[in-house]
Structure 1
Amino acid sequence: MADSIIINRDGKLNQPLLTSVDDDDEENKDLASKVWTESKKLWHIVGPSILSRLSAYSMNLITQAFAGHLGNVELAAVSMSVTVIAGFNYGFLLGMASALETLCGQAFGARRYDLLGIYVQRSWIVLCSCCFLLLPLDIFASPILKFIGQSDEVAELSGVLAMWLTPLHFCFAFQLPMSRFLLSQLKTQLK
């Protein structure tokens, strides 16, 4: 490759766009080690997040499995309240919190650490406000489910369960921004 370096009239070095075949073998070996190194870094960052998500979703799965042992109506009610109502609220709050990931990442990259705390506090206020706006969905879950055609027995039991799941939504309002805040600073290590 030393033969292919060209010097301009101005004295600046120009390197060719294509390299020889011998250089490709060396770069491929180098590429494999680079991919391995980057993969380890990626799993170091993403691994705890994956573990967190798996444990959160497995709680819903285990809850529904135990409700299935109680009876069909109870399983349907738990499914409706956990999957539909709580799932809708979680999805809405997750979407709102996703903007914080970009803001915190930019503030951390720009070394504006004071903005990190401000963004998290603002997102707590916004998401708590959204929780209050979503509260009628929990309070009026039974009439809403009856209106869309669910049986009275399932709708009534789902409404009771939705009321018990209301604190979970307010928990999401604090947990989702905090996880984005920590993730933007690469604070995901399990120690």
Structure 2
Amino acid sequence: MNALRIPGWPIALTTLFCTLLGACSSTGPHTSGIDCTAPLASCHEGRFGLIWKTTQDDGQVQADSISGSYEWRSAQINTPNRGPMEVASLEVNSKLGPSLGQAKRSGDFYEVRAADGRVYLAQDWQTLFDLMFPIKLPANALVDWMKNPNPDTLPPLPANWTWQNLDGRYRVLFVQSNTSGRIDLIPKGKLLR
């Protein structure tokens, strides 16, 4: 499957963060009916924030931020033809409530649908994140956190990235060449719907 890249990184960044907090999602008909009470299911909601600053080669500084709420659902389902398959869904909304987008995963199919109708497809989380963000985010670590937001087992991050746990509020600090910033993740509770 080839990845589809849509120009316009500010919109893409918003969409990716939706993916980031939902990039851990799955597509297909199975994601809407994820059973949050299943043994291997992970369902929770919370708030997020992303702040970053980039210094360009000419010295100009570009900065931006995104914040809102998320709802994460994932599980492993058994399909008649394919056997066990991981499915996930992440919905991300702005502070005022409107949807920023939805990320989904169904087996080996990854998709993000932005609120403006743009669609991003990829073969894995990292490729999907790379298509949407102007900086390289640790997609696998962020997805692993979404699956298991446990303060005792935070997923490993690459060099120059650091987890902080501030009483159940998680912060990821990063410095990457000419870009620095932070991601805030504040889970509110488990979903049992």
Q: Which structure is higher in helix share?
A: 1
Give the TM-score taking structure 1 as reference length.
0.23
Give the TM-score taking structure 2 as reference length.
0.23
Q: Which structure is higher in strand share?
A: 2
Highest Rg: 1 or 2?
Answer: 1
